[in-house]
Amino acid sequence: MRTYAGHSTAKASNELYRSNLAKGQTGLSVAFDLPTQTGYDPDDELARGEVGKVGVPVSHIGDMRTLMDGIPLGTMNTSMTINAVASWMLSLYIVAAEEQGAEQAQLSGTTQNDIIKEFLARGTYAFPPGPSMRLIADMIAYTVEHVPKWNPINICSYHLQEAGATPVQEIAYAMSNAIAVLDAAAEKVDASVMPKVFSRISFFVNAGVRFIEEHAKLRAMSVLWEELGRTRYGITDEKALRFRYGVQVNSLGLTEAQPENNVQRIVLEALAVTLGRNARARALQLPAWNEALGLPRAWDQQWALRIQQILAYETDLLEYPDIFEGSKVMEGLVDELLDGARKEMAVVAEHGGAVQAVDYMKSALVESHRERIARIESGEQIVVGINKYQETEPSPLTAAGDGGIMTVDHAVEQQAIDAIRIWRSERDQARADAALAEVARVAKSDENIMPASIEAARAGVTTGEWARTLREAFGEFRAPTGVGEAAATGVQSDAVNEVRAEVERVSEALGRRIKILVGKPGLDGHSNGAEQIAVRARDVGMDVVYEGIRLTPSQIAQSALQEGVHVIGLSILSGSHRELIPAVIDTLRERGVDVPVVVGGIIPEADVRPLEDAGVAGVYTPKDFDISVIMRDIVRLVAEANGVSAAAGLPPHAGGAVEAAQHA
């Protein structure tokens, strides 16, 4: 039983972990901040506004030592949600454990370490696909021999569902990913070791509110995993063939509107992974009710933990054999999912496997997510509090001045910058330089990266230095956006057609087609919303500039200037909007770009006015689910900014989100 936790500083996060363990949590689940996840130090330009926001910054062995202070690593089970720099974080963890007197063979836990889903859904990649898979294989080979109780990778279907995957896609892409990982590992270890490798592969899955279908999905994954082990890798040990998975239930379905409804959603989703004994999760972490609003507080995390404890100890959930065994409904649903997944796996295989099929899978996910949003917009898919039963009483849960969430003091970032500069000045620089030189040498060879990384951790090398060394060896990479490949004019409705007509009239009045730049400043890799805005803008007839994630304010301003855009849409879900949005607007003004800027993301109500004061024309949050309304607002903003509203035959106000904010 875990809660996903970490924020601000290593010291503050350590206090939170010890408090959660005292409340009955039985394992740790470490959330790292975005600079750490993507391999940047706090003083890097790209880390601006992101330090300590969505997790804890861990920049060197001193931070890891503080983070795990007083927690016995020789007996603790620790899950680390880290991917691109997973081998580095494990190196730091190993050294911190050694300092406590624990041997590597004692350590138990999991590193997420799934890079394919980063290219598809989450965006916290650091290196190109090939070298990234090499790092994963190195880590698998090392842990199987030296850290045998460690799960070196979680194949993460979780994030695929968050990006819009259907159950069939989630199964197929996860299993295709697992094949790519196992094939890479097979090149690093002797064939006799493959049963051990196979047995240490675990999965991190999602469970949505359609919990019967979700349970069937997990039974199907169990069947496919055993089938894969027997037929492709020759595994015969029944224990090694077990489908082992951990879960955080769905965050995609959590709502900002009427957030108290999220509690019952979370409970129902937990049933999907606990009801049937033959397909039950090995580890469970539940999101908090307010994760659609921002960063949960300690009390919110306690509530999520208590849900698990009540299910485990007060209900009879765990007392019976598999209650779905022999169910015709469940068997039929599992067979249906297996058939669809096998067909989709065959398509991935035709593209050359998961690594080569990243572009195909990404565009398929963008398309699936577009279809999901269209169902919600049309009312075909009901989301209580969003498109039905919107009438509500004021929630006492969000009535406090803090908006019902925890906010990280921006001063934390400067403290981290100061601290890492002191760390560098006080370490043995010659030893750090020698360790980095060895990492660079090994990166260009076929040797395992782990021993050099562990020595670099001991030498006081920083996260950014380790990652920069590998970037120089492996090269830079930008993942596909999936926007260009998504089917054109995929959504057809009266609302879309009306906006398309307005785009035509305004474009004619302007003398050229409306052009929008969609940008994601900072390190936030949650690009699903930005992708859907870009796709819909294209569908209603705008020219779209979308370059993906991880852009600096300067890059966004330069692109806006070069492309001659009429409007800019910025997306941030990491909590860094108060710092990064004004920085983008200031940079635009410096470059002489004077166009409306709208912002979308997880933005607390208290932050809306400061953003408007900084020059933002409109703010959208998850409650603004109807993209056609957003598109209409954007078209009319462009018309007003260019003085062509009358010429385009537009009424002064449409009553959409932007107009409502401007005229409240």
Task: Supply the residues annotated as catalytic.
Answer: 4, 158-159, 520, 524, 526
Angle 103-105-106 (CA atoms, 0-180°, nearest 5)?
70
The Cα–Cα gap between 456 and 42 comes to 19
φ, ψ (nearest 5 deg) of residue 273:
-110, 10
Report the interhelical angle of 211-232 vs 261-272 (nearest 10°).
Answer: 30
First to last CA, the chain: 45
Other Cβ atoms closer than 10 A to 547: 16
Burial of 65 (0-12, 13-18, 19+ CB in 10 A): middle
C-alpha torsion angle, residues 170, 174, 177, 183 (rounded to 10): -150
SS3 track for 521-584: ECCCCCCHHHHHHHHHHHHCCCEEEECCCCECHHHHHHHHHHHCCCEEEEEECCCCHHHHHHHH
Q: Return the amino acid letter for 475.
A: G
Q: Return the amino acid letter for 431.
A: R
- Match 């199964």 to its residue by tokens: 171
Bridge partner list, 573:
none
Please name the residues in contact with 335: beta carbons below 8 A apart, sequence gap of 6 or more: none
Other Cβ atoms closer than 10 A to 422: 11
Let me know how many helices (H) and strands (E) the chain has, helices first: 25, 14
Answer whether 55's CB lies under 8 Å from 32's CB: yes
Helix, strand and coil percent figures for the chain, each rounded to 5: 50, 10, 40
Answer whether 110's CB lies under 8 Å from 151's CB: yes
Side-chain-facing half-sphere of 82: CA atoms under 13 Å: 35
SS3 track for 321-358: CCCCCCCHHHHHHHHHHHHHHHHHHHHHHHCCCCCCCH
Bridge partner list, 388:
384
DSSP-derived 3-state class of residue 369:
helix
The Cα–Cα gap between 640 and 642 comes to 5
Rg of the chain, C-alpha, whole Å: 25
The Cα–Cα gap between 282 and 409 comes to 36
Answer whether 36's CB lies under 8 Å from 90's CB: no
